Structures are given as structure tokens and as C-alpha cells.
Amino acid sequence: MKFADLHLHTQFSDGTFTPEELVLHAQKAGLACIALTDHDTVEGCARAAAACAAVKMEFIPGSELTAEQADIEVHVLGYFLDTGNKTLLDRIAQFQTVRQQRIHEMVAALNKAGVPLRVEAVFALANCKSPGRPHVARALVKEKLIGSLDEAFERFLKKGRPAWVPKTKMSALESVELIHQAGGLAVMAHPGLNRSDEIIPALVDAGLDGIECFHTKHSTVMSERYLVIAEAHHLLVTGGSDCHGFSKNKPLIGTVKLPYAHVENLKAARQGRHRVSK
């Protein structure tokens, strides 16, 4: 059996692996195919593609776009993106600027709450265009201002806490259109984390192609529920570990193994779309 992991992060967003390290771990996990889905960027795709080519592993260029639907944050995965697509690159660059600005705002809020974190300490760790809350959490731990990443989120960074700063997001409809015009397929990420299945029909109306049924944080019952929803809405099925690096001393990559038949379905859907649009 061949398996894929279609939800992975690197240092180009809030993961800790370089693209080359990620591919090495993918190889160790015995994967036949991986997709890189860094938050709001495709910057790491060229290096990941080269590293995959060197070991004859299949690579799908992707991204995880931060969007919203009815005031709920939704992550929309784009697969088979043209990583040189100017409309995509221009639009995500705007959200990368928002992310960088937000780091300053989070640090200012921490300072106001009496935590003396310096913004330079965060950017020293977040050497990328698409920084996020995990970088702030890691800087807090590194500077010994807090005991653990979990504590950083619990005390300061999660919604409603003193250093939580909302970010401007694109609408889910726009994210689907942006992915489509860049030649990609749009997939709703980890629906079980949103706990708001009522938004799914609107996403389907917007042109959503698939739904991530298998995810590290989905229980078996949840995965089964989303498989039923996928069938009801004629959606493609995807899955991935959402690896951001090591988790409990082991790389998370490969802990969710998507049977390769689903990758074949994605490729067939993509080709179908290209034929229709010609």
C-alpha cells in the first residue's frame, strides 16, 4: 500500500523543520507522497519539491490559507497550486504583512501585561514571511519567560487572553477562488477543530473541492462523520498529520497515513477541471 501525508508545515511558516528535514522524515515514515501546506505562503515549495525529486517522492505544492466564514476562522488547504501565480502571491503577501505586524502587536500586549519579551527575540526564531503565535510562544519559552508552549497559549495567546490579537482574514469564498485561479483544488482543513459543520454547505456553494477527513486531532468517530459529509456533498477526501515538527519527541509526519487512492482522486479531479476550463 502507498500512503500520503497532505498537511505539513516547515520553517517557512510555524513548523520547525526545513523542507529538506521534512522530506527526510517523510522518507523514514515510508510515505510515497507529501504536500507542503505552510500557512499563507508557498515559499517552501520549491525546496521541498527539489528534496522530494532527489529521493523520487511525489510532491504536491500547497498552502493553508487563513480565511473566515460567518465570523468563524476556517483554514482552506490549496493543492497543486501554481506557486508562481501572481494573483496568489500578491494576495498572500498582504496577509504575510498582517502576520508580521501582528507579532509587534502581540509583543506590545505581552509587555503591557508585564512580560518583558522583545520583538527581536521572536523574529530571531521566526525567520520567515509568515510568522504566527507559535513563534511568540517559542520565544517566551526560549527566553525563560514561561514554562511551556501550552502555558504560553493558555495564559496569553489563545482567543480572549491578554496577548491575543485577531488577524484580518480573507473570506472563505475568496480563498476558494484564489486557489482555483492558481490551478489548485480547495479543501477545508480539520473541520473537527472548527466544530461548526453548519458552515460547510456555504463552502460547498463557494466551490469547495474537498474536506480533510483524517487529521491528527480527529477522533475515529469524527473522521467517519466527515466521510459521510464528503459523500453527501460529493467532496474529495484528504488527510494529513498537520506536522509542525517533533511532537512528544517524535516527528508527527506520517502518523496520519492517507491511502494513495485519495491522491489519485485529487489528480483526476484536477485534470477534469483543466479539461472543462479549456
Beta-carbon neighbour count of residue 147 at 10 Å? Answer: 11
In the complex, least distance from residue 39 CB atom to ligand AMP, rounded to whole angstroms: 6
* Closest to Fe ion by CB, 111 or 194: 194
Cα pseudo-dihedral 77, 215, 74, 33, rounded to 10: -10
Between CA 82 and CA 143 the distance in angstroms is 39
How far are the Cα atoms of 26, 70, 178, 202 from residue 207, in angstroms, in the given order? 31, 16, 11, 9
Given 5, 6, 12, 14, the residue binding Fe ion (CB under 5 A)? 14
Which residues ranging from 15 to 44 are in contact with ligand AMP (CB under 6 A)? 39
State how far the Cα of 97 lies from the Cα of 114, in Å rounded to an integer: 26
Which residues, including other chains, have CB under 8 Å from residue 88's CB and lie 6 or more apart?
A: 42, 81, 82, 178, 179, 181, 182
Is residue 41 within 8 A of residue 130, CB to CB? The reply is yes
Query: Residues 99, 131, 242, 256: which binds Zn ion (CB under 5 A)?
Result: 242
How many residues bind Fe ion (CB under 5 A)? The answer is: 3
- With CB under 6 A as the contact rule, the residue among 19, 62, 132, 210 that binds ligand AMP is 132
- How many residues bind ligand AMP (CB under 6 A)? The answer is 10
CA distance 195 to 188: 12
The residue within the footprint of ligand AMP, chosen from 98, 149, 193, 202 (CB under 6 A), is 149
With CB under 5 to 8 Å by kind, the binding choice for 149 among ligand AMP, Fe ion, Zn ion, none is ligand AMP
Using CB under 5 A, list all residues that contact Fe ion.
Answer: 14, 75, 189
Using CB under 5 A, list all residues that contact Zn ion.
Answer: 64, 242
Using CB under 6 A, list all residues that contact ligand AMP.
Answer: 14, 39, 132-134, 149-150, 153, 158, 244
